[in-house]
């Protein structure tokens, strides 16, 4: 989902628990200035938001399908590639406990 913040548009890329920290943070990608983000890019990020929502619900196959479609058109989308790999990993080995927070073990 694209969000406006003080004149900027951002894309949420998820909640992450960084190594050595005890509280997760929500990370956003800075997309551009409010009102200057083209419709095609907004649609791409809406598609990513759908995949992220499916990820949070542990719907691995749904998330992977959305991400594969996104990556077919935008293969350079780093967050989409990251979540596709993460969903494939979780599909093969589902986490015992789930809170939809990505835990980063290295800095």
E strands, the chain, in order:
2-5, 8-17, 25-33, 101-103
Does the pTM exceed 0.75? yes
Label residue 7 left, alpha or beta by phi (over 0 means left) and psi (-120 to 50 means alpha): left
Res 2: pLDDT:
54
Q: Looking at the predicted structure, is the pLDDT value of residue 19 above 60? A: yes
Q: ∠41-46-47 over CA atoms, to 5°?
A: 95
74 by Cβ neighbours in 10 Å (0-12 / 13-18 / 19+) ranks as middle
Res 5: pLDDT:
61
Domains of the chain, by residue range, sit at: 2-103
Res 15: pLDDT:
97
Q: Looking at the predicted structure, is the pLDDT value of residue 70 above 80? A: yes
Res 64: pLDDT:
98
Among the listed ranges 5-9, 29-33, 74-78, 89-93, which one has the minimum average pLDDT value? Answer: 5-9
């Amino acid at each position: 989902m694209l969000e406006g913040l003080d004149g900027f548009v951002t894309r949420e890329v998820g909640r992450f628990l960084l190594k050595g920290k005890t509280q997760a943070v929500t990370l956003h990608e800075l997309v551009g200035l409010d009102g200057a983000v083209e419709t095609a890019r907004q649609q791409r990020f809406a598609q990513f938001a759908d995949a992220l929502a499916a990820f949070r619900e542990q719907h691995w196959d749904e998330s992977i399908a959305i991400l594969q479609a996104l990556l077919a058109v935008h293969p350079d989308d780093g967050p989409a590639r990251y979540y596709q790999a993460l969903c494939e990993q979780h599909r093969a080995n589902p986490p015992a406990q789930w809170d939809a927070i990505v835990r980063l073990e290295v800095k």
